């Protein structure tokens, strides 16, 4: 059986940045396995700009951003296989992949980096009533058909869900001559970035209807319209609030789900809230030597943050290969307190941690003029006021190694007055 120091599953933004950083941290025997026909992942279909402000200090399109990282990988001579799907990972870090050239091959990895990304929540999982005609697409599928294949999926469009891809597609389809009748969002707040609400909806006079959902899909062959209704505090449709929209297409942007089927086959522990692996401050999963980054770990808003996180995973994987695990100390657990949905990482090893560790988290509601409080075993360590926090915008907090002057068993982050 062939072996590799680091096998990276996925050649999207997370996999590429992880590869580059692993190489720069000394690893040489790195293999990226990518299922698509090119590297770059979902960035290839994100032809709008707004990528790279944090990483490169300039606004790039998705393909341009991907190209920067693809070039880094190429310059370093890092190997990759395209049109190659990973069929299985086991708990001993054996990776089985399949492609047309080699058939089915199993390789032994010293370390694995999970960078498989996420998928969109489909109509069926939302339980939307009505018929099942053509013309219902997740926003990402419509985006691919439009930006990669070059086809317009519809002429009169309604969008359910205010996730970023849905907002981007509302603008994109408008620019291509389609009429976007409106965007309905089940929650009383948007699921996407505020900048996308402004730039993709407000600038084009596309109405956003918060606390609304689709209660009937009409049309037997092709969508002919949707009925939407207002929902109450329990997200149940309110009778009498029905409005009919004449349209031929329904786009869905109702959440992204980390794709962790392979992680499960490797016996990796998952977080019920993020849908991704439980990781420590080195982004290592419950199986030693397996690291995770990007949308497979938790869904991000900005690719810049994916790259930054993936570089940490890559660096740590390289160190793991060179030095082994080296952990012995008791892990400190990070807990999501009131107002916080989750944290990544979920554990921290104060003995081995870097000088500082970035913790990313999401809040569970829209909060104005509230504080983020940090507690070590119940002791208030810091409290920082924020003008606005929303579930659609990821928050972060830096933990300093120097702040652990004594053993801590629980770190808690909470939203407080």
Least distance CB 13 / another protein (angstroms): 17
Cα gap 239→247, rounded to integer Å = 22
Least distance CB 26 / another protein (angstroms): 33
Least distance CB 278 / another protein (angstroms): 18
* CA torsion, ordered 26, 30, 34, 39, to nearest 10 deg: 50
**DSSP classification of residue 236:** P
- Judged by beta carbon, residue 144 or residue 341, the one nearer another protein is 144
- Judged by beta carbon, residue 54 or residue 83, the one nearer another protein is 83
Whose structure tokens read 């062959």?
A: 221
Cα gap 320→287, rounded to integer Å = 12
- Judged by beta carbon, residue 169 or residue 283, the one nearer another protein is 169
Least distance CB 137 / another protein (angstroms): 8
| Start-end of H helices in 123-163 | 123-126, 139-147
Least distance CB 152 / another protein (angstroms): 5
- Judged by beta carbon, residue 221 or residue 417, the one nearer another protein is 221
Please, are residues 401 and 332 in contact by the beta-carbon 8 Å criterion? no
**CA 72 to each of CA 6, 283, 312: distance values in angstroms, whole numbers, following the listed order:** 17, 22, 16
33: left (phi over 0), alpha (psi -120 to 50) or beta: beta
List the structure tokens of 285. Answer: 């999963």
Residues paired with residue 180 on neighbouring β-strands, in sequence order: 157
Least distance CB 124 / another protein (angstroms): 3
Least distance CB 119 / another protein (angstroms): 5
Least distance CB 146 / another protein (angstroms): 9
Cα gap 93→289, rounded to integer Å = 8
Give the residues lining the site for another protein (CB under 8 A). 35, 83, 85, 87, 96, 98-106, 119-120, 122-125, 127, 129-135, 137-138, 140-141, 144-145, 148-149, 151-155, 215-217, 220-222, 237, 248-249
- Judged by beta carbon, residue 125 or residue 198, the one nearer another protein is 125
Least distance CB 55 / another protein (angstroms): 27
DSSP string, 242-274: -EEEE-SEEEE---EEE--HHHHHTT--B-TTT
Least distance CB 100 / another protein (angstroms): 3
- Judged by beta carbon, residue 116 or residue 321, the one nearer another protein is 116
98: left (phi over 0), alpha (psi -120 to 50) or beta: beta
- Judged by beta carbon, residue 17 or residue 116, the one nearer another protein is 116
Residues paired with residue 9 on neighbouring β-strands, in sequence order: 33, 114
Cα gap 390→190, rounded to integer Å = 8
Establish whether the linkage from the previous residue to 257 is cis, with ω within 30° of 0. no
- Judged by beta carbon, residue 215 or residue 280, the one nearer another protein is 215
- Judged by beta carbon, residue 140 or residue 345, the one nearer another protein is 140
- Judged by beta carbon, residue 54 or residue 220, the one nearer another protein is 220
Please, are residues 75 and 173 in contact by the beta-carbon 8 Å criterion? no
């Amino acid at each position: 059986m062939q072996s590799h120091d680091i096998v990276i599953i996925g050649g999207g933004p997370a996999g590429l940045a992880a590869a580059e950083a692993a190489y720069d941290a000394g690893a040489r025997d790195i293999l990226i396995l990518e299922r698509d026909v090119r590297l770059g992942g979902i960035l290839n279909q994100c032809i709008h700009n707004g990528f790279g402000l944090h990483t490169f200090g300039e606004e790039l399109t998705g393909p341009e951003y991907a190209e920067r990282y693809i070039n880094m990988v190429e310059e370093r001579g890092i190997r990759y296989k395209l049109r190659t799907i990973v069929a299985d990972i086991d708990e001993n870090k054996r990776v089985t992949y399949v492609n047309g050239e080699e058939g089915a091959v199993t390789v032994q990895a010293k370390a694995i980096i999970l960078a498989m990304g996420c998928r969109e929540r489909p109509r069926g999982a939302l339980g939307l009533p009505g018929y099942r005609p053509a013309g219902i697409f997740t926003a990402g599928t419509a985006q691919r058909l439009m930006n990669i294949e070059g086809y317009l999926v519809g002429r009169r469009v309604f969008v359910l869900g205010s996730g970023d891809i849905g907002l981007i597609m509302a603008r994109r389809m408008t620019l291509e001559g389609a009429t976007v009748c409106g965007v309905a969002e089940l929650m009383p707040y948007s699921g996407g970035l505020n900048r996308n609400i402004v730039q993709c909806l407000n600038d084009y006079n596309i109405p956003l209807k918060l606390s609304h959902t689709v209660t009937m899909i009409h049309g037997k062959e092709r969508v002919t319209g949707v009925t939407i209704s207002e929902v109450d505090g329990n997200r149940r449709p309110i009778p009498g609030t029905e409005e009919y929209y004449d349209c031929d297409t329904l786009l869905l942007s109702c959440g992204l789900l980390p794709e962790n089927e392979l992680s499960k086959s490797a016996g990796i522990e998952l977080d019920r809230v993020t849908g991704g692996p439980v990781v420590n401050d080195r982004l290592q999963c419950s199986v030693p030597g397996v690291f995770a980054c990007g949308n497979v770990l938790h869904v991000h808003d900005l690719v810049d943050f994916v790259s930054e996180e993936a570089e940490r995973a890559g660096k740590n994987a390289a160190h793991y290969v060179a030095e082994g695990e080296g952990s012995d100390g008791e892990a400190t657990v990070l807990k999501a307190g009131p107002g916080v949905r989750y944290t990544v990482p979920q554990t921290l090893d104060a003995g081995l941690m870097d000088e500082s560790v970035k913790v990313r988290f999401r809040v569970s509601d829209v909060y104005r003029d509230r504080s983020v409080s940090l507690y070590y075993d119940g002791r208030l360590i810091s409290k920082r006021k924020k003008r606005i926090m929303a579930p659609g915008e990821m928050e972060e907090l830096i933990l300093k190694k120097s702040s652990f002057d004594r053993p801590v068993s629980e770190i808690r982050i909470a939203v407080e007055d």
